[in-house]
Amino acid sequence: DAGVTQSPTHLIKTRGQHVTLRCSPISGHKSVSWYQQVLGQGPQFIFQYYEKEERGRGNFPDRFSARQFPNYSSELNVNALLLGDSALYLCASSLDLAGASYNEQFFGPGTRLTVL
């Protein structure tokens, strides 16, 4: 079975541009989360979506937005890029949210974004 896939793998943008990153969860997984990982730090939570609804948001500015589609794939959009947005963007999917005693998150390989 395919794991979590992300595209593109690498991306170079300039300041002020916008970017769209894409994520396809594991088949059957309804929850998708996005994380930003700056070099030398652990991943930082950005968004969680479940059944196309936003269920959680981290401490990120409004320049960051996301959505989830009926097939549970997801896009992360970042507007007005800053140099500090350069990072590895990780997508994770999980099977279910409500009522579960635990939900293992499966991470994709990430998209490496460089802002010049």
Partner 1 sequence: DAKTTQPPSMDCAEGRAANLPCNHSTISGNEYVYWYRQIHSQGPQYIIHGLKNNETNEMASLIITEDRKSSTLILPHATLRDTAVYYCIVRPPPGTGNQFYFGTGTSLTVIP
Nearest in space to 50 (alpha carbons), one of 79, 92, 21: 92
**CA distance readout (Å), 111 to 35, 52, 73:** 11, 22, 15
68 pairs with which residues across the strands? 74
86 binds partner 1 (CB under 8 A): no
Which residues fall within 8 angstroms of residue 98, CB to CB, at 6 or more apart?
none
Residue 115 beta carbon to partner 1: minimum distance, rounded to whole angstroms: 17
Site for partner 1 in 24-53 (CB under 8 A): 31, 33, 35, 41-45, 48, 50
114 binds partner 1 (CB under 8 A): no
Residues binding partner 1: number (CB under 8 A): 33
Q: Which residues bind partner 1 (CB under 8 A)?
A: 4, 31, 33, 35, 41-45, 48, 50, 55-56, 58, 88, 90, 92, 94, 97-110, 112
